[in-house]
Structure formats: C-alpha cells, structure tokens
Amino acid sequence: MTAASAVPAVAPVGVAPRDAVGVADRLRTDVTARVRALVEGGAAAGAADDLPDIYVGCTAALAVARCPAQYRADGEDGWGFPGWSAPLAAAAVGRAALARHLALDDVALPAPLEVVRSWMRDAAKAPTTAVAEWIAQLVRSGDRTTVAATAATATRWVAGFLRLHSWPLPDRLGIVADDADGARTRRWQKAWRPLGRGTPVRVASSPDAVAGKVTAAGQFDLVLHRPSSPLDEVLAERAAFEAAAGALTAGIVAAGVVVTSGDTGERVRFPVDDRRLARGADLVAGVVHHRLVATQPTPDPFADATPGPACRHCPHRDDCTGGQAWLARSLAH
Ligand code: SF4
C-alpha cells in the first residue's frame, strides 16, 4: 500500500484551521470554467449538437485515468451508471444494513450476515431506495444466485468495515446511507452540476462514511471502505477523486480521505491538500473531455491508448494495436 500515513479513521483534531469553504468555492469556480471551456470547445470541434449526459463518477474517472481509449470505446455501457451487480451493490447494501442496525440503537455487535439478510428481506418487500428496488426485482424474478452473491459480498463489506472501524463505531463516524434516519448515519450531498441546475454534466461523490462533523471548519474525513485492497496507484487516484468530488458536492473541503480495506485490514489516510484537489479536478475534467471526444469522429480512436494490465480483460483489445503489443510483450516474459 502507499506511503500515505496510516491513522485512525476519525477526524483529525487540532489541525490548523483553514478556509475549507473558500477552497471549495475556488475549486467549484475552477472546475466550472474548465467544464464550460471543454463543452464550448467540443461544440466548436463538432461534438454532438445536444450535449450528452455526462456522469462524472469515480468509476468513469478511474477508467479515463487508466486508459482513455478504453473509456471512450466502452460507449453507453461505460459512460453512465453501470447498473447494479453483486460487487457494485455490496457497499450500498452493507451501508444500508449497518445504518438500519445503528438506527435501531441496538448496541449489540451486528452479525454481518444476519443484518444484511434481514435488510435485504425487508428491502425486497418494500423498497425505498434504488438498490432496494434492484433487490426486489431480483427476488421477483427468482434470481436466487444473484441475491445470494449480493448477500455474500455485502456481508464481506460489513464484516470488513466493522473489523477496521471497531464496535461500537467511533462516536464521530457516521455511515452515509440514502435512507439515513438515525443519529449515527449521515445524509451526504451526492451530486453537483458545474453548469447549473438542469444541465447535463453531473459530478458524483460517494463516500461510505464521514468521520467528524461536516461544518464549515472542514474538520472531517471522508471514509471509503473496500472489501479488498486495490493497487496503490488506484487507491491514490480514488482518494484524489473523492477529495475533489466531495468538496464540489458539499461545498466544503474535507481534511482527509481515509481508505480502508477489509481483506488486509489496512487503513490509509490521504490528507486533502491543494495537490490532491488539483489531481481530483483533473480527473473530473478528464471524464468530461473524453466523453465529448467520444462524440466526435476520430481517425484513430486508439491513438492515445494506454496499455497496461487492464488490456488483459479489455473488450476492445482486438481493435487496439497498442494493447495487443503490450499483451504480446507480457506473454513473452
Ligand atoms: S487494449 Fe489496453 S490499451 Fe487498448 S484500449 Fe484496451 S485497455 Fe486501452
């Protein structure tokens, strides 16, 4: 894992006060100007007449950073929300199950499988959120395999989260849940539109929890929990994206981004500084840029392909000479 400092997932105490709202304002101004310039430039270069919906989430940002050619070639399947799947729903289901347990004010250590199963049973009967509606559809269609896989991955998420954050959860740690209704859960501003309400560009922020109180002082951390440990460079990029996306959506810059990994028990804290926010803003702008490029005719759509391990599973590798060369080299070694 990275050399970033490993510290408890609670908001830092005693850090120097800073203008967390002012920094977020400036970031919003900067990102708005960049997005506007990209959109106007795209229009001048013959991008689609109507600006397409551009969803700037962490999956798209990491995909562009990994290989912009692959992101563009993914088309509609990769540009928007990819749709629920067992791995993708793990955090949403895990958070909701844990949030409900907390809202019950039950001090007992939750049994991960039981709280997940119980939440999924009730969600299927009366869904109130998008992931609950997906579970309900699975149950209605009799897709027991996906239901079981979702329960298993969500259970792993909850077990790892509890392992990393201990029980009872730290006082200042609040789970971010769509249907948050307890003191230990948090609602979080999840989207921001740089060009204004009703416009098609949307930046999404998706922390799993918030440590500390979200006030103008910015003395809080965003917490991301993963069942498994990502590669170091992915971890740093995800932290940069969430640092910027969180500041853009909430209008306040967090003090840090804490990433925890259930399988290894690692906890890494990335302080949010100007460099990290700048990288996050670049990731946001990168998605907008490449989504617009994808609407324009391009002589060689793979000219800027960035070969690497992702080529092994890339559905476009038959069309990408750079990816094929990388794969041939990697097989030769
Ligand atoms: S094969 Fe590799 S380099 Fe080519 S588009 Fe896919 S990920 Fe990018």
Per-residue pLDDT tens for 313-326?
A: 999 999 999 999 99
Average pLDDT over residues 239-254: 96
Return the ligand 1 atom nearest residue 320 CA: 4
Asked, for residue 311, whether it belongs to a domain, the answer is: no
Ligand 1 pocket member 69 (CB < 6 A)? yes
Could you tell me which residues come within 8 angstroms of residue 178 by beta carbon, excluding any fewer than 6 positions away?
92, 96, 129, 130, 131
4 Cα–ligand 1 center, Å: 29
Write the single-letter amino acid at 48: A
φ/ψ (deg, to 5) at 123? -60, -40
Q: Which secondary structure element, helix H or strand E, spans residue 44, and what is its range?
A: helix 20-44
Q: How confident is the model at residue 11 (pLDDT cuts 50, 70, 90)?
A: very low
Residue 315 CA: nearest ligand 1 atom is: 6
**For ligand 1, what atom is nearest to the CA of residue 308?**
2
Q: Does some domain include residue 247?
A: no
Q: For residue 138, what are the domain limits? A: 86-169
**Total number of domains in the chain:** 1
Residue 112 within any structural domain of the chain: yes
Q: Can you tell me which atom of ligand 1 is nearest the CA of 73? A: 5
Rounded to the nearest 10°, the torsion over CA 172, 177, 182, 183 is 20
pLDDT in tens, 89-125: 999 999 999 988 888 766 788 999 999 999 999 999 9
**What is the length of the chain?**
333
Q: Is residue 153 part of a domain?
A: yes
Q: Is residue 201 part of a domain?
A: no
Evaluate: CB of 184 within 6 angstroms of ligand 1: no
For the stretch 252-266, pLDDT in tens is 999 999 999 888 888
Q: Where are the alpha helices (DSSP H) in 126-273?
A: 130-141, 144-165, 232-250
Give the Å distance between the CA of 319 and the centre of ligand 1.
9
pLDDT for res 226: 87
Q: Taking every pair of C-alpha atoms in the chain, what is the biggest distance, in angstroms? A: 61
Q: Work out the pLDDT band at 17, boundaries 50, 70, 90.
A: low
Lookup result for tokens 């967090």: 254
Ligand 1 center from residue 67 Cα (angstroms) = 6
Q: State whether residue 218 is helix, strand or coil.
A: coil
Q: Categorize the per-residue pLDDT at 297 as very low, low, confident or very high, splitting at 50, 70 and 90.
A: confident
160 against 228, higher pLDDT: 160
74 lies in a domain?
no
70 lines ligand 1 (CB under 6 A): yes
310/11: higher pLDDT: 310
Atom 5, ligand 1: residue with shortest CA distance? 70
Residue in 203, 175, 181 with CA at minimum distance from that of residue 190: 203
Check pLDDT > 60 for residue 81.
yes
Has residue 270 been placed in a domain?
no
What's the pLDDT at 12? Answer: 46
Burial of 123: CB neighbours in 10 Å, binned 0-12, 13-18, 19+: buried
